[in-house]
Chains A and B, each alone.
Chain A
């Protein structure tokens, strides 16, 4: 330890800004940030028939699975057996993100480094195995790692331990909106004195029992062909396809990043808004009022007018009512302006908490490269869903982006990101 850890008082300061300096991606259409981004720009989908288990008896048989992901490429065996696939993917993405940010946590003040991730469903596969041991064989067959592998905090805890990060740690749950909340909560902590946060989210919901749980929402597509399955905003929208993976995102205090000569600043987290529909326990809201309010809150906090936004990364539920509500919200916030709208998650499926993080990564790279990634499988917008959709990769000057994310239960979140000047 080359640095003596210092106590600090976590009171908020307006002088501390949050920027993003590192990305790590594990996604159905690519593992590794650049591989995934190349596939995404090319409109290459990672959705296919479920291979993790025999899904032939289930109404939903498609998913965005991460093919060829080998946890052993990133993590020691000792740790692999203690953790679920969702944590494996997060640990791998963390390693990539730290390399990308050129940051070695060793020797840094441990209390100024935090881990704040989101999770919607925890360690599904691990949990199903152990509960099967319990009910199929008996209590003494439940393994010692069940207590630390399946619960929602496992990923944050393991990253904190692996890298010696002792600052304020967090785990947030807002179903599909949590990925954005984790980023903003990182900013709350940056304002309170933390310098470096490993944030973002991954999810691994493709197992027999997890899929059974998801089927009860009546929001999953039962289509058999990838092309016709997850088609948000399209007249043929028929639900969504679940996927696994996500992104780990390094959020850093701006002065800390420049002071250490961070290799890049992808963008600044400028504003955020989150609201709750409080509408119904199961039915989707028929209007976009609270989503529009979240978007406006994000713009207001960012001090950005709707006219300055170069693109919207949509939540894109793929459920007709929710698509209409989002289209209504976007029209409401942007008035008559045809802001470009895209949904690269049409190539991965919905990754729950992982989606907000992965969309943020896509938005940041869109700003870096001046290109908007496409929405695939959108050919004929549904009634009420007419927006300026990006259906082919598009060169564009992208400086300010709004990312939407929603979660089952009525969670609406929106974040504003800006490219460094």
Chain B
């Protein structure tokens, strides 16, 4: 069976617009949530978000790319430049017909779609909008496949290119898709990951009526409170992460630094409700068991769980139940954390950012904390690594995701067994 190694990591996130700043932020327990500055949030129920202070030029984008790309595409290209460099890949010399791009995004080009809509409709006045006022790259915003097309174009990748849009599990699923392409021999190198920039009026307005987002508007820094008794919803975020996946043997042959490998990936649907979760966590549990079984992983092997931990009442309860039903007593012993406490919930992007956090946790032997955890919730009684990072050897990390549509995903990253034996 062909295996996929993670050889490069790139991140654009709130509080840290590159990999090292991101790692510093999430291991220091600092929160990047704030009052929204991108637009005037007056009149919205939730007025806070984790915004990234991203400079596309500093990230390596040229003038034309900045002009034509929606913000979520810019994030992905920036993260991909960093990840490919980190992998030490000379893209000119690799077989780019065997190089794929698999990226997730839940809401795609909504920022440009909304910006142009306001103009062509003259502020929501006209149903029959004036097409003459549309910007020349508006179709690019309508179809989120643009994300994969642009990253493929940037690196001259001629292999499979696809966008995966499974709501808030898009990030894990985008990487899982790339992993399956390597397993099946459809590609040797995959630029995988996800990107999302949904801090815009229409996206915020989506979540207001269903009360999914936090209303702690007067205390933005402490608003994202996964697993805490007083949590009141998620805090919108934005972000992207790219993992370079390579067929493990060829990565070893070229002497690449191997962060870890994808030891298992699975997805299930709850077939229950578009936004609701049953408290038993059964379907997420199935995804976890499948991912563990693929890699021959036992509960005792798992050193860290990076939770979806969105900070909604139902999610954190659901996820805690999923861990208990699959890991038994061991669920109480494994450090768990939600980095959404610090960088918010970037919808389809966050799953990839969380996989990046897992790769770095394995590489650096540190478990990032859950910030803002103060008051225990009887329904969430596991070890959520409150507020402070912990030094810990991490050989195996599990990450889970849950999304609108009922999708549940799980991925396990692990230091390859042959490298574990060498004690690296």
Interface residues of chain A, those whose CB is within 8 Å of chain B, are: 5, 7-12, 53-54, 57-59, 82, 110-111, 114-115, 119-122, 128, 130-140, 142-144, 146-148, 151-154, 156-158, 160-161, 163-175, 178, 181, 185, 188, 191-192, 208-217, 274-282, 290, 293, 352, 407-411
Q: Is B68 an interface residue (CB 8 A)?
A: yes
Inter-chain contacts of A133 with B (CB < 8 A): 124
Inter-chain contacts of A214 with B (CB < 8 A): 139, 142
Which of B113, B120, B163, B209 has a CB less than 8 Å from the CB of A172? B163
Q: Are A161 and B406 in contact (CB under 8 A)?
A: yes
**How far is it, in angstroms, between the C-alpha of A136 and the C-alpha of B274 when the chains are bound?**
27
Given contacts A10-B266, A168-B267, contact A156 B166 (CB under 8 A): yes
Q: Are B209 and A144 in contact (CB under 8 A)?
A: yes
Inter-chain contacts of A277 with B (CB < 8 A): 158
Which of B142, B155, B209, B404 has a CB less than 8 Å from the CB of A157? B404
Q: Are A275 and B268 in contact (CB under 8 A)?
A: no
Q: Is B1 an interface residue (CB 8 A)?
A: yes
Q: Closest Cβ of chain A: how far from B133's Cβ, in Å? A: 9
Q: Are B407 and A139 in contact (CB under 8 A)?
A: no
Inter-chain contacts of B243 with A (CB < 8 A): none
**How far is it, in angstroms, between the C-alpha of A290 and the C-alpha of B167 when the chains are bound?**
30
- From B204, B266, B290, residue with most partner A Cβ within 10 Å: B290
**How far is it, in angstroms, between the C-alpha of A211 and the C-alpha of B177 when the chains are bound?**
31
Q: Are B269 and A147 in contact (CB under 8 A)?
A: no
Beyond the given A136-B124, A153-B165, A173-B108, please list 18 additional residue pairs across the A-B interface where CB-CB is below 8 A: A8-B290, A54-B128, A120-B145, A133-B124, A134-B202, A143-B209, A166-B268, A166-B286, A167-B268, A169-B268, A169-B269, A174-B161, A212-B131, A212-B134, A274-B162, A278-B155, A281-B153, A407-B143
Given contacts A136-B124, A140-B43, contact A146 B205 (CB under 8 A): yes
Given contacts A144-B209, A410-B149, contact A136 B142 (CB under 8 A): no
Inter-chain contacts of A191 with B (CB < 8 A): 184
**How far is it, in angstroms, between the C-alpha of A119 and the C-alpha of B108 when the chains are bound?**
12
Q: Are A278 and B153 in contact (CB under 8 A)?
A: yes
Chain A residue nearest to B160 (CB atoms) is A274
Q: Closest Cβ of chain B: how far from A221's Cβ, in Å? A: 15
Q: Is B423 an interface residue (CB 8 A)?
A: no
Q: Are B405 and A157 in contact (CB under 8 A)?
A: yes
Q: List 6 A-B contacts (CB under 8 A).
A: A12-B184, A131-B114, A161-B272, A173-B162, A282-B140, A409-B148
Which of A111, A174, A279, A408 has a CB less than 8 Å from the CB of B286? A111
Inter-chain contacts of A274 with B (CB < 8 A): 160-162
Q: Are A146 and B118 in contact (CB under 8 A)?
A: no
Q: Are A169 and B157 in contact (CB under 8 A)?
A: no
Q: Is B207 an interface residue (CB 8 A)?
A: yes
Given contacts A132-B127, A135-B123, A213-B134, contact A276 B152 (CB under 8 A): yes
Interface residue tally for chain B (C-beta within 8 Å):
93
Q: Are B159 and A275 in contact (CB under 8 A)?
A: yes
Q: Closest Cβ of chain B: how far from A311's Cβ, in Å? A: 25
Q: Is B294 an interface residue (CB 8 A)?
A: yes
Inter-chain contacts of A408 with B (CB < 8 A): 139, 143, 145, 149
Chain A residue nearest to B272 (CB atoms) is A161
- From A9, A163, A192, A293, residue with most partner B Cβ within 10 Å: A9
**How far is it, in angstroms, between the C-alpha of A156 and the C-alpha of B158 when the chains are bound?**
28
**How far is it, in angstroms, between the C-alpha of A139 and the C-alpha of B114 when the chains are bound?**
14
Q: Is B277 an interface residue (CB 8 A)?
A: no
- From B121, B124, B142, B403, residue with most partner A Cβ within 10 Å: B142
Chain A residue nearest to B347 (CB atoms) is A151
**How far is it, in angstroms, between the C-alpha of A390 and the C-alpha of B107 when the chains are bound?**
40
Q: Are A142 and B405 in contact (CB under 8 A)?
A: no
Q: Are B121 and A407 in contact (CB under 8 A)?
A: no
Inter-chain contacts of A58 with B (CB < 8 A): 131
Q: Are B145 and A174 in contact (CB under 8 A)?
A: yes
Q: Chain B 273-287 against A: per-residue CB contact (8 Å), 1 yes, 0 no? A: 111000000010010
**How far is it, in angstroms, between the C-alpha of A154 and the C-alpha of B160 when the chains are bound?**
24
Inter-chain contacts of A132 with B (CB < 8 A): 121, 124, 127
Q: Are A281 and B150 in contact (CB under 8 A)?
A: yes
Inter-chain contacts of B271 with A (CB < 8 A): 110, 160-161, 163-166
Q: Are A152 and B274 in contact (CB under 8 A)?
A: no
**How far is it, in angstroms, between the C-alpha of A192 and the C-alpha of B68 when the chains are bound?**
39
Q: Are A178 and B286 in contact (CB under 8 A)?
A: no
Inter-chain contacts of B96 with A (CB < 8 A): 278
**How far is it, in angstroms, between the C-alpha of A230 and the C-alpha of B127 when the chains are bound?**
27
Q: Is B144 an interface residue (CB 8 A)?
A: yes
Q: Is B378 an interface residue (CB 8 A)?
A: no
Q: Are B128 and A152 in contact (CB under 8 A)?
A: no
Inter-chain contacts of A293 with B (CB < 8 A): 97, 158
Q: Are B144 and A135 in contact (CB under 8 A)?
A: no
**How far is it, in angstroms, between the C-alpha of A311 and the C-alpha of B204 when the chains are bound?**
49
Q: Are A172 and B164 in contact (CB under 8 A)?
A: yes
Q: Is B217 an interface residue (CB 8 A)?
A: no
- From A110, A135, A153, A290, residue with most partner B Cβ within 10 Å: A153
Q: Are B269 and A11 in contact (CB under 8 A)?
A: no
**How far is it, in angstroms, between the C-alpha of A212 and the C-alpha of B153 when the chains are bound?**
25
Chain B residue nearest to A8 (CB atoms) is B290
Q: Are B161 and A171 in contact (CB under 8 A)?
A: no
Q: Are A211 and B268 in contact (CB under 8 A)?
A: no
Q: Are A147 and B212 in contact (CB under 8 A)?
A: yes
Inter-chain contacts of A178 with B (CB < 8 A): 145, 162
Q: Are A170 and B166 in contact (CB under 8 A)?
A: yes
Given contacts A148-B275, A178-B145, contact A275 B134 (CB under 8 A): no
Chain A residue nearest to B203 (CB atoms) is A147
Chain B residue nearest to A138 (CB atoms) is B43
Q: Are A275 and B286 in contact (CB under 8 A)?
A: no
Q: Is B51 an interface residue (CB 8 A)?
A: no
Inter-chain contacts of B290 with A (CB < 8 A): 7-10
Q: List the 3 closest pairs (A to B, CB-CB), nearest first.
A: A157-B405, A409-B149, A135-B124
Q: Are B123 and A136 in contact (CB under 8 A)?
A: yes
Q: Closest Cβ of chain B: how far from A79's Cβ, in Å? A: 10
Q: Is B101 an interface residue (CB 8 A)?
A: yes
Inter-chain contacts of B135 with A (CB < 8 A): 216
**How far is it, in angstroms, between the C-alpha of A193 and the C-alpha of B132 when the chains are bound?**
50
Q: Chain B 184-203 against A: per-residue CB contact (8 Å), 1 yes, 0 no? A: 10000000000000000110
**How far is it, in angstroms, between the C-alpha of A57 and the C-alpha of B126 when the chains are bound?**
13
Q: Is B23 an interface residue (CB 8 A)?
A: no
Chain B residue nearest to A274 (CB atoms) is B160
Q: Closest Cβ of chain B: how far from A125's Cβ, in Å? A: 11
